[in-house]
Amino acid sequence: MGSSKGKSIIFFMVMGSLLVLSQFINSSRFSKKMFIPDKSGNYYLKILLIIISVTYVIGLLIEVWIRLKFGVSIFTTFVSTSPGVGTSSIIHSHVYKSMLGILISDSGLSLPSTIHTAISISAYVPRFAAVIFVVFPVVYLLGLLSVDERPDIQKIILIFAITTSLIGMLDGGLFSAPAMIGMAGLLGIYSIKKPFSPRDLIKPSLIIILLLILRIIISFIGSSPDVYDITIVGEHENVTLPGFNVLDEKIAGNNTVVTVSANMNEFSALNSSFTILKDEYPLFFISWDSYSFFRG
């Protein structure tokens, strides 16, 4: 999902390698060599779930911190335009992905334009987000240990869930589709008992439903159905926004807030703002309007 082909590459590399390695690694022998406690698969799966959940929460807190730093609402999309356009929000976070962008840039690798690394927002993300480079291999290893001694169908579901969870952490955050799918699979497998009963899946299903409801609530609570507020960092005068119906322009703190009519849907407003502002304003925030998708 999404515009970047990077997720497809990660998906096939991670899931493919997990499928292969899970056939050769017996957790008891492997754990002895790696000095890892010889426990059941669910023991490692529980630790994996905790680490993934904490990582998602930290990502959300970083998103909030960025907005508090610049004095803007948390219900906004953060846009950086240099060296290329990069975005991030509570609903779809790229804070950890930006750390990957730094690593790729520092290593001198050249990637196709179809693979987005979010390097442009990395300057505004605290370096603590680099913890993802520790979390990623730990989750991968715990994932290998957690698939041991399970029926083949459970192994496949679990490996798929681990892979989408890793993608969700890097690209999207807690409320993204990969994260939701991954959490559903991990919680479902963790909750299954012997003998299996459909009741085992009630609790994990409720958790995912609550997360989906929370995502929808956040989307609409943070939306303004009548206007978009475009907050440009820094004090500017006479901001030109061709294609937008400008209603007001004011200085708020150290920022310039331009209020425009919500006469287009949110995606169109975002794309238009990229095109208009990218060459002059390196950093701005734009408010949401989830209602716009119902207006056509």
Does 1 map to a domain? no
Average pLDDT per run of 10 along the chain, which is 296 residues long? 66 88 67 61 92 96 95 93 87 92 75 71 91 94 87 92 94 93 95 87 94 93 87 87 89 89 85 86 90 68
Whether 238 and 205 share a structural domain: no
Per-residue model confidence (pLDDT) at position 25: 67
The domain boundary residue, chosen from 220, 237, 268: 220
Whether 141 and 69 share a structural domain: yes
Whether 208 and 246 share a structural domain: no
Q: How far apart are CA 278 and CA 128, in angstroms?
A: 27
Whether 257 and 139 share a structural domain: no
Per-residue model confidence (pLDDT) at position 295: 61
Query: Which residues are registered as beta bridge partners of 279?
Result: none
Whether 88 and 201 share a structural domain: yes
Q: How far apart are CA 216 and CA 210, in angstroms?
A: 10
Q: How far apart are CA 126 and CA 23, in angstroms?
A: 39
The domain boundary residue, chosen from 202, 220, 238: 220
Whether 167 and 243 share a structural domain: no
The domain boundary residue, chosen from 197, 220, 243: 220
Does 292 map to a domain? no
Domain count, the chain: 2
Whether 206 and 271 share a structural domain: no
Per-residue model confidence (pLDDT) at position 224: 81
What is the CA angle 97-7-20, rounded to 5? 115
Does 294 map to a domain? no
230 phi/psi in degrees, rounded to 5: -100, 110
Does 295 map to a domain? no
Length of the chain counted residue by residue: 296
How many Cβ atoms sit within 10 Å of the Cβ of residue 183? 23
DSSP-based three-state secondary structure for 227: strand
Question: Residue 175's domain spans which residues?
Answer: 6-220
Cβ within 8 Å of residue 81, ≥6 positions away: 120, 274, 277, 278, 279, 281, 282, 283, 284
